Amino acid sequence: MTNVTPTPAIMPSILSMVKRVKRECGQPEPTTLVGTTDKQALIVLDALNDATNDIFTRKRWEWNESLYGLNLVAGSSQYNLPADFMRMAKDPKVGGLTVKVLDETDFHILIDNSAISYGSPVYYSAHGYIFELWPTPNQEFVDQYPILQFTYYRMPPKRLDGSDDSANINLPPQFEPALIRYGRMALKNYLEYPDAGDERDWYEWHLGVQMRADRSIRPMPTVKLPRVNRKSWS
């Protein structure tokens, strides 16, 4: 199986980001996060993790799309989904035709009521880390299409626990200003600074900029115009 994920530029280290938040809030910077008992540093670390999860799940980002290839086996209808699979982004296509999605219930109703078992897949279902095809690919189909590709959205990354100062948050670097604002908001709330709410507003502003930019790089949908019988106009 192949998994092709765009490799973004790297964010600053998690230690650098925590140090920046504390410095900008007028607090002493930590020298390390490993085994730290610095309450403020831990608050910022949690906030950066929370913001990362919020950004990942806020919308269906184009940068979060990952291409995956299933190595098909004749006679096998079930395959494992990627470990970081969250939801489908683009349905698989075979010979220019889209393999259509069904939910798990409808998929199994179809199987139970069909006399066809093997052939060229027409439907799929993705559930519980299992990818199922119907009909089950036969040898002729696999010989022609050995790999079935689809695009999916990745789950948010695991939270950083501070055990590695050099670890990087797995987000494109253009989200750094938003993350810093969220970290400042959390620390200022803890310190009872009166402008903590302003930091939240700035976080949403930075996030809105990226959401609009993400929409702008997507291809415009194709609009099919109605066919006109020109004779009726005469």
* 109 or 12, greater pLDDT: 12
Q: What is the pTM of this model?
A: 0.80
pLDDT in tens, 114-162: 777 899 999 999 988 999 999 999 999 999 999 999 999 999 999 999 9
The residue behind tokens 């989200």 is 175
Q: How far apart are CA 118 and CA 127, in angstroms?
A: 21
Q: What is the pLDDT of residues 55-94, one digit of tens each?
A: 999 999 999 999 999 999 999 999 999 999 999 999 999 8
DSSP letter, residue 224: P
pLDDT bin (cut points 50, 70, 90) of residue 110 is confident
Report CA 199 to chain centroid distance, whole Å.
25
What pLDDT score was predicted for residue 8? 52
Rounded Cα gap, residues 188 and 36, in angstroms:
20
